[in-house]
Amino acid sequence: MDMYFTKEHEWVKIKEGTAAVGITEYAAHQLGDVTFVELPQAGKTVKQFDTLAGIESVKAASDIYAPVSGKVTEVNEALNDRPEIVNEAPEDAGWIAWIEMADTAELAQLMNREQYDEYVRGLE
């Protein structure tokens, strides 16, 4: 699956016009122990870079932004009981939601893995 990244440290994996969304390993590490994820409502429509979800760690509370516009089709209910999955597997089992993409052209606004890694190196 193609994978893209935002400057706010969300990732998106594309599969047949639908996008899985989560936060990157870098973001999960920076947050520390995740204690709560405020999941979006399935059916909700979001615009690219608007707030999609909320995430809290022992240290801080942050917003998670939608990397792409579209309709939320599924959310990761497992995070309600075990938000620590975000720390354990941020770019896999710790996914937040699936979004039915409204406009695949928006992907041009995102970074690929190589660009994102370079971007993170610049932050350190």
In the complex, which residues of this chain contact another protein (CB under 8 A)?
Answer: 32-33, 35-36, 38, 54, 56, 58-59, 61, 83
Q: Is the CB of 68 or the CB of 79 nearer to another protein?
A: 79
Shortest gap between Cβ of 36 and another protein (angstroms)? 4
Shortest gap between Cβ of 53 and another protein (angstroms)? 12
Q: Is the CB of 62 or the CB of 73 nearer to another protein?
A: 62
DSSP states of the chain: -EEEE-TTSEEEEEETTEEEEEE-HHHHHHH-SEEEEEPPPTT-EE-TTSEEEEEEESS-EEEEE-SS-EEEEEE-THHHH-TTHHHH-TTTTT--EEEEES-GGGGGGSB-HHHHHHHHHHH-
Q: Is the CB of 7 or the CB of 29 nearer to another protein?
A: 29
Shortest gap between Cβ of 14 and another protein (angstroms)? 29
